[in-house]
Structure 1
Amino acid sequence: MRAVEAKREKLARLTKRPRKLTHYLQRRAIPAVLGPGEELYIIDHHHLSLALFQSGVPDTFVRVVADFSNRRRLAFLRAMQAHGWLRSCDGEGRTISPVLLPATVGHLQADHYRDLAWSVREAGGFRKSPIPYSEFVWADFFREHIPAELVQQDFLSAHRSAMRIARSRSASHLPGCKRGKSLSD
């Protein structure tokens, strides 16, 4: 996962400066929902969470955005879906049952199209959006337009295609779209 690797590299630099690491993590508190059994369910910053886990950073900051701890599992999952806080898909973008989602960030599956969406956003192809899972919306869009073989075997060519497609009319409905803007915007 390219986004995770980039975050791991940043964390490696920051761990040498504990105060800067603390400041970085405070500004990127992991949003979570308190669920049944008072377990935390993260709803964003999954790649940062995985990078922290893989880097051995033992603690971070969490921001609880909702408390659904009094709900039973099914009501909890329905509430999560109603708020747009649940994306139940596998690493290839296929819908799966929420019970099949990984229980820990250490078991997250790589999605090559999510990496592609991240790289396009980083290169200015679209703006960061507050809409939950917006980069997955872009990933699914790219999945429809760019062959999987290209993404897996020639990421640079796939990235170039995705940058072009991100500015197309067909992308104008996507969160953070910069249609009509120059690539330097």
Structure 2
Amino acid sequence: MLLRAPAFNQIRPSQLTHGLREVREKAEAYAKLEGHELEMAIADKLVPIVYGPGEAPFAIDHHHVAAALWRAHVKRVPVVVVKDLSAYSTNEFWLTMENNRWAYPYNALGKRVPFCEVREFSWELEDDPLRSLSARVRDEGGYGKTSVPLEEFRWADFFRQTLPLPKNDAEFDSRSRKQ
């Protein structure tokens, strides 16, 4: 597959939300790095992409990384091409993306929305505080990291059904710690 490497600002998201708290934390960490340390941190997080209609590149994971790098004023990210679906129609493309668990068409309330509502850039995604909570719970050992795509969103949906939305940092922190 000999498609050109996309510019950072050409990579489209395949989901509607991210955890803004998680993005801010990652951005702060990236902003503290320079030179070789920054290069190594970036190289460690290849963004997997799928080419869609019109050869548009879509990130299928690491949306938080892309948004954090953008916030940290790092305007490049290494990618790995997973699949070329550029010959597909828009409908075939999104159906294939969803069937492979490469897309997540749900808003911050957990409601399904049309794919046409997916934003243009990862740094424009809607904040889902429970997505940040699911990442923090995972990082604190509440559940194991898995290679299953979109697993953090399923945890966020579980929390959405079982916990009230945290109103402040103290509530967020208390819900994410081991008891």
TM range (shorter): 0.7 to 0.9
Partner of residue 144, structure 1: 161
**AA matched with 1:124:** G
| Unaligned segments of structure 2, at least 5 residues | 1-19
CA RMSD, 1 decimal: 1.3
Bigger radius of gyration among the two: 1
**1:152, distance to aligned residue in structure 2 (A):** 2.6
**1:90, distance to aligned residue in structure 2 (A):** 1.1
Residue number among 39, 42, 52 corresponding to 1:22 in the alignment: 39
Higher helix proportion (structure 1 or 2): 1
Q: Would you say the 8 A contact 1:36–1:72 is kept in 2?
A: yes
Superposed CA deviations along residues 129-184 of structure 1, whole A, max 9, x for unmatched, are 11111100110011111012xx1332123324xx56xxxxxxxxxxxxxxxxxxxx
**1:110, distance to aligned residue in structure 2 (A):** 0.5
Partner of residue 21, structure 2: 2
- Are 1:92 and 2:109 counterparts? yes
TM-score (norm: length of structure 2): 0.83
TM-score (norm: length of structure 1): 0.81
Higher relative contact order (CA 8 A, sep 6+): 2
**AA matched with 2:26:** K
| Unaligned segments of structure 1, at least 5 residues | 165-185
- Percent identical among aligned pairs is 33
Q: How many residues align?
A: 158
Inter-partner Cα distance in structure 1 for 2:173 and 2:30? 25
**1:58, distance to aligned residue in structure 2 (A):** 1.2
Q: Would you say the 8 A contact 2:28–2:72 is kept in 1?
A: no
Partner of residue 62, structure 2: 45
